[in-house]
Amino acid sequence: MVFLILIGIGVLSIFLLFVLLKEKKILSDYYLIAIILFFAGILGSHLLMINWPSIFVYLIILFFNTYYFPILIIYGLILLHGNTFNKKWIWIYACPIVYTILILIDLFLFNDYELTQNVEKLFINPSQYQFLLYLTQYIYVIVLLAWLLKKLNGYTKKIKNYFSSIEHINLRWFRYFVIAFLSLSSIGFVVFTSFSMGFIENIDIPFGIEYVIFIALLFYLCYNGIRQYSLTGLRNNFLNSQIKDPQKNSSSAEKYTSSNLTNENIESYFKEILQLFDEEEIFLESQLKIEDVAKKLDISLHKVSQVINSKSNKTFFDFVNHYRVEYFKRLLSEPDKRKFTILSLGIESGFNSKASMNRVFKNIVGQSPKEFQQNQSKEPIL
């Protein structure tokens, strides 16, 4: 265990070095630095407890294990809001602060933990009071992760109204992390509750497994957080101006109640949009944004979004990619195009990566581009 902890701290040092060497740091970078330092603190404090158990070391563990989580949640919120901080998020620290105060009251007013064996009881056989506090902390973590996951889902829906390619900005990696962390915390809550009720006699093995998975998840977060900061420049300015609150992604009817567009306006603008897509084939631009369409029509982004949503019942992302898929299908069906790779034909159709090409194509057509091309070659020529 000691060897693994030392390796973990070494890897974190490398992660930290990568972020520190970045020249133009943004807000999410500083929060990632804090997460890495807190993560290292969690590993280091457990190493201290293994070798020198004391109430002081327990307090260090308490600090790092309690306050890394609100920092993690705010890091996620910063990613969602285009690297801006909202003072309203301070409430996230309320529960950890109350939790810390209640733990300290128990440690210094109601019990004597000066002896080493008493300190070990905090982990091996905590009191009912401590059990209740630990369970409360679990509930806090689960509720906040579920809330953050809801915001991530809203963010994904929102960006589809503004971008035709979202592969590098959809925060899918962070969503996977939140889902895994939420699942792990939920399982931990069930195991801990079962132990407190006497259904499980020993939780060393399940908690040991949970701890290892937790460590792996945090490494996953740090690695992808470092990769993320090289991509944030693609979206931050636009997100700051357009996506203030990813949860405010209501239905089309509700969103456009204040719009001054008449039905005639909508029909006219939609004809112009169709001309851009059918004749000029604007969808072949891999980084096409709704902003580009708005500039060509000389109207606001909001109006373009309303027109496309109202007439096609699709988001901008789905509208553009349906055109790309139809164009891609034509290329795949042409015999003289078989000398080119499927990826090159996908790039020619406006997709900017193999992953996004395959995912979008399969969602719309129901089969992969390769399967579609193979089926075309089997059809008899009339």
User: Residues 179-204: pLDDT tens digits?
Assistant: 999 999 999 888 888 877 777 777 77
Q: Tell me, what's the pLDDT at 112?
A: 62
Residue 245 has pLDDT above 60, yes or no: no
Q: Tell me, what's the pLDDT at 325?
A: 96
CATH number of 2-242: 1.20.1070
What is the rounded average pLDDT of the residues 71-98? Answer: 92
pLDDT above 70 coverage of the chain, percent? 85
- Per the DSSP assignment, residues forming a β-bridge with 35 are none
CATH class (in words) of the domain with range 252-378: mainly alpha
Q: Tell me, what's the pLDDT at 48?
A: 86
Averaged pLDDT of the chain: 84
- 194-203, 270-279, 300-309, 331-340: lowest mean pLDDT where? 194-203
HSE-CB of 286 using CA atoms within 13 angstroms: 15
Q: Tell me, what's the pLDDT at 22?
A: 82
Instruction: Answer for the pair 138, 185: CB distance below 8 angstroms, yes or no.
Output: yes
What is the rounded average pLDDT of the residues 200-215? Answer: 78
**How far, in Å, CA of 74 to CA of 175, rounded?**
14
Q: Give which of 89, 83, 71 is closest to 244, Cα–Cα.
A: 83
Q: Tell me, what's the pLDDT at 32?
A: 92
- Per the DSSP assignment, residues forming a β-bridge with 289 are 163
Domain boundaries, the chain: 2-242, 252-378
Residue 249 has pLDDT above 50, yes or no: no
* Per-residue model confidence as pLDDT tens digits over 256-266: 554 677 889 89
Q: Which ranges of 203-353 would DSSP assign to H, the alpha helix?
A: 204-228, 236-242, 252-255, 263-278, 290-297, 301-312, 316-333, 342-348
Band of pLDDT at residue 1, cut at 50, 70 and 90 = low
Any idea how long the chain is?
382
pLDDT above 90 coverage of the chain, percent? 45
- Does this model's pTM top 0.95? no
Band of pLDDT at residue 121, cut at 50, 70 and 90 = low
* Per-residue model confidence as pLDDT tens digits over 130-144: 888 888 999 999 999
* Domain 2-242 matches domain 252-378 at the CATH topology level: no
Q: Tell me, what's the pLDDT at 210?
A: 81
